[in-house]
Amino acid sequence: MSHHEINIAVFASGNGTNAENLIKYFNDNTESGIRVSLVVTNRAGAGVVERAKRLGVPVEHITRDRFSDHDYVMGILKAHHVEAIVLAGFLLMVPDYLLKYYHDRIINIHPSLLPRYGGKGMFGINVHKAVVEAGDTETGITIHLVDEICDNGRILFQAKVSVDPTDTPEDVEAKIHTLEREHFSRIVALTLAPDL
């Protein structure tokens, strides 16, 4: 294999469906040269822990307080040769030192068409409730680079889905999960290894 392998860390706080999809995608598409070498979570009991372990990916539990410890976190990431970070339902703000070190190499997925329904408190079902309450006829996903402002960085990709008048927030969530499965891993690959 002549090209360099890119190790990524997936940061997740919850159930871990997107993290699992990313791990499986890059396991199945080895020609991308990308590998999930680490899963980082801020919640010890998060569903992502079991998913990652089942797929043989090491997991590091880093508490909110420990995230402020530059040397501790960078030591973990460097030990796993992490060259890029993908946020998959990660509910903490990324500290400035990571934004600097991984400039333009931190990718997030958000379950709305940013700039709509972004910012503090806007995650998961909260977003879908807001969409339904507003009577929106469409919603979608946004995959974007991460900067120091929540849900603000340069948009890499958006995909839309229609919202029916009868849809519940849970219905919208199911539609969003389908879009996430369809596009997230592919856009991460295109962004980090555009020459393949």
Q: Kindly give the confidence (pLDDT) of every residue in the chain, 196 residues in length, as a single tens digit, with 9 standing for 90 and above.
A: 345 789 999 999 999 999 999 999 999 999 999 999 999 999 999 999 999 999 999 999 999 999 999 999 999 999 999 999 999 999 899 999 999 999 999 999 999 999 999 998 899 999 999 999 999 999 999 999 999 999 999 999 999 999 999 999 999 999 999 999 999 999 999 999 887 6
Q: Are 142 and 114 in contact (CB under 8 A)?
A: yes
Q: Which residue has the tokens 């931190």?
A: 106
Q: What is the 3-state secondary structure (H, E, C) of the chain?
A: CCCCCEEEEEEECCCCHHHHHHHHHHHHCHHHCEEEEEEEECCCCCHHHHHHHHCCCCEEECCCCHHHCHHHHHHHHHHCCEEEEEECCCCCCCCHHHHHHCCCCEEEEECCCCCCCCCCCCCHHHHHHHHHHHCCCEEEEEEEECCCCCCCCCEEEEEEEECCCCCCHHHHHHHHHHHHHHHHHHHHHHHHCCCC
- Give the integer Cα–Cα distance in Å for 25 and 19: 10
110 labelled catalytic:
yes
**Which is catalytic among the residues 4, 70, 81, 110?**
110
pTM: 0.95
Query: Which long-range contacts does 43-47 make (Cβ < 8 Å, 24+ apart)?
Result: 43/13, 43/14, 46/12, 46/13, 46/14, 46/15, 46/16, 47/14, 47/15, 47/16
CB atoms within 10 A of CB 98: 19
